[in-house]
Every structure is written in structure tokens, then in C-alpha cells.
Structure 1
Amino acid sequence: MSGQGASLAGSEAAAAGFDGSAGSADEAASLRREVAVLRRALAERDAFLAGVAHELRNPMTPILGQVERLLAAAERDAPEGKVAQGLAQLRWLVERYVRRATTLLDVSRAQTGQLALLAAPVPLAAVAEEVVASLNPMAAHAGSTIAVAVADDLVLSCERLALDQILDNLITNAIKYGDAGPITLAAHRDGPVARIRVSDRGVGIPPADQVRIFERFERAVGDPERAPTGFGVGLWLVRRLAEAMGGGVAVHSRPGEGATFTVTLPLHD
């Protein structure tokens, strides 16, 4: 939980604990005022995040379009040339930037209850292939490989973009904390649902932190000197997206033995 969220929860609990006696009435009123101030501060922060996300993402759309046009021309002239390779890398970097800005926007929408998801039949294998292809350069840079074991007949009832976001966040997390080891994305049918697992062999997560990491602005590694860069919202957003589509997420991990995140989502009838 973030510092402001913890203060808000603590203040609400303290205010509720007063018995209404004359000696505590002033303190209870003061605590209620503090709760109101904290709520306004949280609302202002979420509004700020939404505004920042729009400002960061919108200018990149025409830039990405121009990079794609240049890349298409370079690939026609010299598909194996350095210009084409450089533009392909630039396109990947811009796409990653846009996804990070989109994450901020989705966080704001989820917090304010404006994250509307429409379920439709979605082939899991196809989305998994797209996400892994987009993240392979990042994994290679970190010294990791990504193996995929997803059956072609697994069709989910979910929103495709939300599924993309879930897989992207989980695999990115595995790359960050996987200690240059192999990463596996696997899935299997379990009655009316699919269980999707993303596993790494990295630093692992202490038991005491395995609930905390699904809160906003929290990370698997609490020490800021050791933690990779990021907003600390990826796993929180995974949980919110999975729950919004009738599923959930859980983690199994031991320190030094890696981590496995399991997302459960309904299958299409």
C-alpha cells in the first residue's frame, strides 16, 4: 500500500474506534477532516496521473506512424541493412513508451471505476505470441529467453487489449526480476477457466511481500537500491484487469527460487 493509502486507512480506523464521548469528539472530528483531506489528495493524484498519461502518449502516436512508414521503406530497399534494423529497434522503443503511458492511464481509470471491459472470444495463443514477440528484444538484452507452451484451442472470454496488458506486465516483471534466467509462459484448461502461468527463476518474493505486491505503487523488491525502475503498478493493474473479467491472479514464490504468477480467466463457451 502507498504511504497516502496507509495513512488514509489508519485514519479511518482510528476515527471509527472512538466511542463518541465528549473527550474524544474533537479528536474524532479532526481525524474525519484528515481523512477528507487525504481523499482529496488521492483524487488529485489520480487526476494528475491521467493528465500526464495523455500528455505523454498522444504526441507519440504520429511519431510511431512516421517510424513505421520509414521502416517499411527501409525494409523494401534493404531488409537486412543497418537502417532497417535501427528503425525496427526505434519502433520497439516507441511502442514500449506508449505502453508505459497507457499503463498510467489504465491505473487512473481503474481507480476511478471508469475501466470498462467488453468480453469477446480471444485466442490465447495468438495474443501470447504477439506479446512475446514484442518483448523478446527486452528479454535478450536482460539475458533471458521466453518459452511459450499454450494450446491453440484455448479461447478466452475477455477483452483482447486487457489480456495483452496482463501478459505484457507479467512477462516484463519476470524479465526485470528473473536474474537473466529462462522465462516460461504456459496455460492449460481447468474446467470452465484457463490457468495462465508466467514463471521465472529469479530472486523470488518473500512470503510477507506476496500480498503487498498487488497493491498500487508497490514492488516485489522493497529496497529501492535493488529494485528495477518502474511505477510499481503493473501487478496491481494485472489484478484489477483479471478481476474485472471474472478471473483473478495469485503468486507462488520462495526467495532465491523464482516466482510463478497464475492468472485465471474464463473460457469462451
Structure 2
Amino acid sequence: MDSTEKTGLALRIGAAVAAAAASNADPVAGLVASGLVPAAEAAVSRWQAQQARNVDNALDEAAEASGLRIDNLLDRLAADPARLVFLSEALTAAARSTFSERVRALGRALASGALADDEARVDEERLWVAILAGVEAPHLRILRQLMLPRDQQPYGTTPQQLTLAEAAGVSYVMAGHLLADLERHGLASWRWGETYPQSYREAQGASASEKFWQPTSLTPELLDRFRAAGREGDE
């Protein structure tokens, strides 16, 4: 598949993603009334171009990681319904990505799925695509903080939400939302006072009545996937 064909595929996927998003709302009438249609068209055009570049980059990464030509890679991923859905999900996630490391990590997941000899491995990579699609840079900052040994944590303790909010650069309330995301994906877990009595009080107002957070066995593998794709997601 030459560059023109690959770009054409990327543009079609980008347009499909954009069309799916547009089907959920009808902003055009308001834009027409405001006289903003030309500006909106330009913005959508840039958005679709960015999506196409992301898909293009994901396919390049998949081809490089698998050692396959892109047309051979796509033939493998279109060989059965399960792999085709996997391809669609990975490229849709790549199209919507906001940082390049996730795009490349998704490309590497595609490579693993294309080279897989059994359906179970494809299913596993599909699960990883779902996790990768939901991980943004603030999530990664929290996970890196969780992976630090206890003697490198503030106050020398298992981190609580306040510490993780500071690490992510978000508000305390938003950190709770990020932690809920990570818990749902099995990337972080909490414990109530396994080491500390309930009467324990940390400085800056945190207390043992809050959750102490820790990484799971899945956390290092996720970070390894981002390391293999470049930096761990911060720009």
C-alpha cells in the first residue's frame, strides 16, 4: 500500500469517526445563525486531518512492529470478524488520541493482533485497546506516582487522593474521577488502613478515612506499553 492509498484510508476512517460524532447532535443550525460556518468548516477540516494523521501513524507503527507491509497487515486484520472489529476499535481510538505515544501504543497492539495465532491473543489485545483508549496523560501521571516506592512518596506513605491530585496537576475532585477510571480498568486499587490505624492523620488535611491507593499487577504492563511507544504520555 503506497502513501497515497494509506492516506486515503486514513481520511476515510477519520471522516467516519467525525460523521459518527456529528450524528449525536445537530450544531449546524446554530453555527449558521451565528455566521460561523466557514470557521466551523475549517476547524472540522483540521480535526479530520489530525485524525487521518493519527491513523496513518498507527498503521506505520503497526507495520514497523510487526515487520509486515501495511497491505499485508490489513489483510490479516480483515481475515475474520473478530480481527476486523479489533482493527476498527484500534484505529478509531488512534484517530481520537491527543498524544502521539498512545497512537503508537495502539499501533503496536494492532501488530500483536495481526501476528496472533489464536483468538484468545486477539481478544487480549482488544482489551488492551479498550484500556489504552481510556488513558489520558493525567491518568499516566497518577500511575507513575503510584509506582514510586513508599520512601519516595510524600510523607513516606502509600499515596492518598490529595497526593495523586498534585501529581496529576488536577483538582482534588478531578483526581477522584481519574482514580475511578483507573480502578474500573484494573490499573489502581485501594485499601483501608492496612498499615495505618483509622485515627491516623496526614499533614495537609488527608486522613485515614480516605482511600490509600496502590498500583495493580496490570499497571507495570501498561506503562511498559507506553515506554515501548516512546515517553509515557506527557508532552
- Please classify the TM superposition score into its range, dividing by the shorter chain length: 0.3 to 0.5
TM-score by length of 1: 0.29
Q: Which has the higher strand share?
A: 1
For normalisation by structure 2, the TM-score amounts to 0.32
Normalized per residue, the structure richer in helix is 2
